[in-house]
């Protein structure tokens, strides 16, 4: 894997939070936050939402399709 | 290291990899260090314990600017490590009171980390998001009910109800068609990858797109299959009118370094 593409790739914050908050290996650090994974994701979602000034109506698909598996 | 510091863990790599630390700054602007323990190397940074203690950290995570900056810094370190060899990314905000704690982790979960590293070696994560424009999808589906709404004897109220029902039915069939498309896209991409994971759809308020996100998936792809994978994604973009397929990556394998016992998605082959 070249140094370039990974370092230079443009990354949207939403895509990044999908990964750093819901992905990555979970280990029990001594100081590790005891925040459950799902809570972290919810916190970030709430934060992001509150930062979006112009709230558009959510599509029914988004609500219906929050299941993690498609099949 | 002084007593007022705590250790932020970014990623675990092979111990035989280049053991000099990646030349990037960490979440606190600190120099990144490596700790090698047997066959594994941890990529860490020392951060101020007062700024990164559990209580303070919980507050930070409620601050979007802090979270965004930390997420990007964490990712920059993980990506720099990934550019040099196989890497197991660690979830954001994993802290230890000392290097010894990290070393203990590497010893205690050596087997887990080694198999996780083996699973991602020579592979990269690619994100695929699919969107449909609901209007053009509804147009492309025939809506016979809407066309045959009677206008005569049943009266305006009844006609309104029927139009409304037809509209709802059209929306429902659009949703089920969209779900069908998502499954087909996923089914076509899966044979080209070593593993896959489906993330929840992103909120349209965050993506800024009115379109429905019908698929938000991550695929772990062998390096020698990158080209065919990309070609297929491009092909899928053209597959249906009103369908848009977006590719992101390469990512460090965040979506494939999940905790034991959780559902990591599907392993293929």
Digit-coded pLDDT (tens) for B159-211: 888 888 888 888 888 888 888 999 999 999 999 999 999 988 887 777 778 88
Q: Which of B68, B74, B121, B205 to mutate to test the interface with A (most CBs of A within 10 A)?
A: B205
In a domain, A5, yes or no: no
Where do the structural domains in chain B lie, given as residue ranges? 5-121, 124-256
- CA triple B234-A23-A11, angle to 5 deg: 50
Q: How many domains does chain A have?
A: 1
* CB spacing of B89 vs A24 below 8 angstroms: yes
| Over residues B243-269, mean pLDDT | 75
Closest residue by Cα to residue B26 from B3, B4, B59, B51: B51
| Over residues B50-55, mean pLDDT | 83
B204 touches A: beta carbon within 8 Å: yes
- CB–CB of B131/B185 below 8 Å? no
In a domain, A18, yes or no: yes
In a domain, A71, yes or no: no
What ipTM was predicted for this assembly?
0.82
CATH placement of domain B124-256: 3.30.70
Q: Over the range B55-85, which residues count as b (16 or more CB within 10 Å of their CB) and which as e?
A: eebeebbeebeebbebbebbbbbbbbbbbee
B146 touches A: beta carbon within 8 Å: no
Mean pLDDT of chain A: 56
* CB spacing of B258 vs A25 below 8 angstroms: yes
Structural domain boundaries enclosing A48: 13-66
In a domain, A53, yes or no: yes
In a domain, A40, yes or no: yes
Segment holding B213, helix H or strand E: strand B212-222
- pLDDT reported for residue A44: 61
In a domain, A45, yes or no: yes
* Percent of chain A residues past pLDDT 90, beyond the cut: 3
In a domain, A33, yes or no: yes
> Using one digit for the tens of pLDDT, what is the confidence trace for B259-269?
544 444 555 54
In a domain, A4, yes or no: no
């Amino acid at each position: 894997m070249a140094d370039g593409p990974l370092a230079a790739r443009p990354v949207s914050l939403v895509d990044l939070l999908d990964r750093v908050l819901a992905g990555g290996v979970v280990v029990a650090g001594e100081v590790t936050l005891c925040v459950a994974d799902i809570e972290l994701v919810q916190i970030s979602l709430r934060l992001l939402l509150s930062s979006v000034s112009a709230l558009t109506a959510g599509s029914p698909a988004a609500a219906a399709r929050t299941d993690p598996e498609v099949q | 290291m002084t007593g007022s510091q705590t250790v932020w863990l970014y990623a675990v790599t092979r111990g035989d990899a280049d053991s000099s630390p990646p030349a990037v700054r960490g979440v606190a602007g600190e120099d990144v260090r490596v700790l090698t323990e047997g066959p594994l190397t941890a990529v860490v940074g020392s951060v101020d314990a007062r700024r990164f203690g559990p209580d303070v950290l919980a507050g930070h995570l409620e601050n979007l600017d802090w979270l965004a900056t930390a997420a990007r810094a964490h990712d920059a370190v993980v990506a720099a490590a990934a550019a040099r060899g196989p890497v197991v990314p660690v979830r954001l905000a994993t802290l230890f009171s000392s290097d010894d704690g990290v070393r203990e982790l590497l010893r205690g979960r050596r087997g887990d980390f080694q198999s996780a590293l083996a699973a991602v070696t020579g592979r990269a994560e690619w994100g695929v998001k699919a969107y449909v424009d609901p209007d053009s999808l509804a147009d492309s589906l025939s809506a016979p009910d809407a066309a045959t709404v009677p206008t005569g004897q049943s009266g305006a109220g009844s006609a309104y109800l029927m139009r409304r029902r037809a509209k709802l039915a059209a929306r429902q069939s659009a949703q089920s068609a969209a779900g069908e498309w998502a499954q087909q896209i996923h089914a076509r991409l899966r044979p080209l990858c070593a593993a896959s994971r489906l993330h929840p759809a992103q909120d349209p308020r965050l993506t800024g797109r009115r379109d429905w996100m019908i698929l938000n998936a991550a695929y772990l792809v062998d390096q020698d299959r990158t080209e065919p994978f990309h070609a297929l994604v491009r092909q899928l973009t053209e597959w249906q009118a009103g369908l848009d397929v977006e590719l992101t990556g390469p990512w460090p394998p965040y979506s494939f370094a999940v905790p034991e016992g959780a559902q990591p998605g599907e392993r293929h082959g």
